[in-house]
Amino acid sequence: MLNNLLIVLPIFALILTGWIARKSGALGPNATREVNRLVVYLALPAVLFDIVANARTTDIWEPGFILAFTTGCFVVFGGTLWWRVSTGHHLADAAIDGLNASYANTGFVGFPLVLSLVGETGMAPTLIATIVTVCVLFVVAIVLIEAGLQTEARRRDIVAKIVFSLVRNPLLIAPVLGGLVMISGGHLPGPVHVFLKLLGGAASPCALIALGLFLAGTSASAASPRASTAGILVGLKLVAQPLVTWIVAAPVLNLPSAMTHVAVLLAALPTGTGSFMLAEFYDREAALTGRVVLASTVLSIATISLYLAFAHA
């Protein structure tokens, strides 16, 4: 458990930094949105392009692992989406809630956790999980959000508006361009790679600071009405997703125990900041999302430790 705590401690420190900056007046009320826009328009697209462009097909082609992890993501995402829409919530809000319940923090927590527990052999599966999470799942959520936001338009204009919004979205353009580089077999020049690393390195820290800024500007009374919803979403992320992933990986696909272990471990990660970035950017479900990210990160220390104790029993 101490090892897990040390890995997630920088996350809490960055959130606290944003909270202190807002409470002390060092950053004003508009800082949350501006910092988040920096992530959405610059830093995160650099991360997405860099990850996909530098991926090698030999490293990311693990059909069994891909199927197990992706199924865990989309069963929980789809189930949450259906639950929220069926209870009268807007499609855009339901898509963000789906991310809250299925978007694993593979980048900030996954890589150091898997490296410390599994070693270098776990890096390729973690890269696969990152691509599935930040490219595939993220793209599906953005498409659904954009579709939901255009439902008020005339029917014949909906498709055109959605397509126009998507082709201008840097979070979708970046992985597509990265995929073209990967397929072409080309290599990025050294200075370009360094530029992407420098710019992309700001994504996670800035997103976490933006979360702290947001939480500092959210009153406790505004946070209380939907605590039960946040609890359900956290439960889906920390319990349901790894359980579904294990069912697909072990009883269904009969994957090797080592691969099953990595898949379940990655599925058990807390909710990443990607869902908060979208919630704040689109101004949908930001308060709920902020609580889910924070609570799932705190509780994952215990749930991952319990899983590890069970796996090694």
Q: Backbone phi, then psi, for 62, in 5-degree steps?
A: -130, 85
Arithmetic mean of pLDDT over the chain: 84
pLDDT for the residue 1: 62
Tens of pLDDT along 8-58?
778 788 888 988 998 888 888 888 888 888 887 888 788 878 877 887 777
Q: What's the token pair of residue 268? A: 């058990």
pLDDT band at 294 (very low <50, low <70, confident <90, very high): confident
Domains of the chain as residue ranges with CATH: 2-311 (1.20.1530.20)
* Closest among 40, 46, 29 to 206, alpha carbons compared: 40
The tens digit of pLDDT for each residue in 96-142 reads 999 999 999 887 788 778 877 888 788 788 888 988 888 789 889 98
**What is the percentage of the chain residues whose pLDDT exceeds 90?**
27
Separation of alpha carbons 313 and 243, rounded Å:
17
